[in-house]
Structure 1
Amino acid sequence: MTPTAQTFPDPEAALAGAQFADRYVLITDGLALTAHGAAEHTLGRAPRWISRLTQLRNLAVRPFGLKTGAEPDMLPESRIGIFPLISQAPGRVVLGLDDRHLDFRMLVEVKDLGAGRQEVAVSTIVKTHNLLGRMYLAVVKPFHRIIVPAMLAQVLTKSS
């Protein structure tokens, strides 16, 4: 099964003032994932092509003083992959970062569907602050729509 795009129901509830939100969903069978486990499988390690795109992105935004991921002194348990962990509850992990140009949240949610099946969803919510944030979002959106489903699909390959 491949991830499918869905509309995120209420971006304002996740991040006040959000201008962008999307959601990708994958149905699993027999994996018994927690939200934290699903986040680790999805975001803990990127395929090489995504890592290379991220390196290019980091080089491009560094002159603008934008953050390029988790702070180097951040403890491993306070992040998943490069994303700072904001909160976690049963069935949901919230990751994110606030910066000068935009704030974003990434929600990883797991819902039991019964009979050993689970719905794993990754949602991204963004609030831009200025022209740089709006330009950045416009540039990364096409890549985001390819990268997030590819990362989410790792749940199937890493868990089996």
Structure 2
Amino acid sequence: MTILATAVPPHAEIARRLRGADFHDCYETAIAPTPLSALELYLKVVAGTPRWVNAMMTLRNRIVRLVGLKNLGALGDTDGAKPASAYRVGDRVGIFSIVYLSEQEVILGDSDKHLNVEVSVCKLPGKVAVSTVVHTHNALGRIYMLFVAPAHRRIVPATLRNARFL
């Protein structure tokens, strides 16, 4: 499976959130035509989270506790018994809450005192794009991103590679 770094899809809802962003990226991969919604694709992506990514999240949670940031849990901490159709805007899905939901795109996000992060899974013809947009709130957010950005650039492609799109 080929994962390409690309521009955020300009027509996607997540593109509206780029203004003033301190960090953003987008990765895409080809997928066969699928009836799955964007949220169903997201759930498949996080279900295949590599163990080393969850280990990094555990380490992250221990470290950031020292400066009063949230313990987010692990990326794949979702309710496997809950169908995607049962989720609504505002619902928690693992480490994020749904902030935008359509058949073609889901945006999930979280805010803390240091930054606001939003992740989009967008169905495009023959591919899926995963975009991340971060707005930092202060110096702590900017320092945090110095460490997280390089890791993020490895985590998203690795997690996409593990996804099992049917």
- From 77, 86, 104, the equivalent of 2:99 is 86
C-alpha distance in structure 1 between counterparts of 2:15 and 2:41, whole Å: 24
RMSD, aligned α-carbons: 2.2
List gaps (5 residues or longer) in structure 2: 80-86
Q: Which residue of 2 aligns with 1:36?
A: 39
- From 137, 151, 157, the equivalent of 2:159 is 151
Q: Which residue of 1 aligns with 2:66?
A: 63
Matched, 1:106 2:119: yes
Q: Give the TM-score, by structure 1 length.
A: 0.83
* Aligned partner of residue 64 in structure 1, secondary structure: coil
Report if the CA contact (8 A) 1:84-1:96 is conserved: yes
Q: Which residue of 1 aligns with 2:2?
A: 2
Q: Percent identity?
A: 38
Q: Which deviations, in whole Å up to 9, do the C-alpha atoms of 1:82-106 show, x marking residues without a partner?
A: 2221120120001001111000100
Q: Which residue of 2 aligns with 1:18?
A: 21
C-alpha distance in structure 1 between counterparts of 2:127 and 2:15, whole Å: 22
- From 126, 130, 155, the equivalent of 1:122 is 130
Q: Which deviations, in whole Å up to 9, do the C-alpha atoms of 1:117-152 show, x marking residues without a partner?
A: x21110000001111100000111111000001112
Inter-CA distance 18–66: structure 2 relative to 1 (3 Å threshold)? same
1:134 aligned partner, one-letter code: R
C-alpha distance in structure 2 between counterparts of 1:32 and 1:12, whole Å: 24
Deviation at 1:80, TM superposition (A): 2.6
Deviation at 1:58, TM superposition (A): 0.3
Report if the CA contact (8 A) 2:18-2:24 is conserved: no
Q: Give the TM-score, by structure 2 length.
A: 0.80
* Aligned partner of residue 50 in structure 1, secondary structure: helix
Instruction: Show structure 1 runs of 4+ deviating over 4 A.
Output: 9-12
Inter-CA distance 119–36: structure 2 relative to 1 (3 Å threshold)? same
